[in-house]
Amino acid sequence: MRVFTAIFVTSAIVFAASASPVPQVEVEQSSGSPTFNALREWFSPVSNYFRETFPEQSPSDIADDVREAASDAQKWAQENVHIQTVSEAVKPYWQSAQDTANNLSQKTFSEMFDDIRTGVKSLDERIGGAINEWNQES
C-alpha cells in the first residue's frame, strides 16, 4: 500500500510541478473520437484543478491537497474488494521475499558466495546428468 501511495504522491507532485499555470482556452466538444471526448470529460476535474485552483495555491496548499488525495486513494484501495483480493493473494510471496531478505541480512558475503557456488554446482550436475542421460538414450 505504501508503494501505491508513494507512486501516487510522486506523480501528483511531478504533474503539479510541470503544469502550466496559464489558463487554457476551453476547447469545444468536437465530433471526433468518442473515446477522446470521454477521456477528456473523465480528466476534466484534473484539468480544471490545474487551470483554476492551482495558480492561486501556495506550495503548502498543494502539499495538503496531495496528502489528502493520497489518503483518499489509500482508503479507497483498502475498501476495494478487488485490490484486497490481489493483496491477499500476493501476501505469501511478499512474506517469502521478506524472509529471504531477512535471512540474507544475517549472512556474510562469503557465506552468500558459498551458497551461490554450491547451488550453481548442484544445478550444473543435475543439468549435465540429464543431458548425459538424454545422449545415452539417443
The DSSP line for 32-63 is S-HHHHHHHHHTHHHHHIIIIIGGG--HHHHH
The pLDDT value given to residue 72:
95
- Residue identified by cell 541480512 is 105
pLDDT at 116 over 90: yes
Helix (H), strand (E), coil (C) string for 56-106: HCCHHHHHHHHHHHHHHHHHHHHHCHHHHHHHHHHHHHHHHHHHHHHHHHC
pLDDT at 2 over 70: no
Report the pLDDT averaged over residues 26-45: 78
The pLDDT value given to residue 93:
93
The pLDDT value given to residue 104:
83
Q: How many CA atoms lie within 13 A of 136 on its CB side?
A: 6
Which tens digits make up the pLDDT trace of 48-103? 988 988 888 888 988 998 999 999 999 999 999 999 999 899 999 999 999 988 88
C-alpha cell read off for 36? 477522446
Residue 103's identity, in one-letter code, is N
Report the pLDDT averaged over residues 119-125: 94
Q: How many CA atoms lie within 13 A of 18 on its CB side?
A: 6
The pLDDT value given to residue 68:
94
How many Å apart are CA 33 and CA 22, to the nearest integer?
Answer: 27
Query: Is the pLDDT higher at 1 or at 103?
Result: 103
Which tens digits make up the pLDDT trace of 3-32? 556 566 566 565 555 555 544 545 555 557
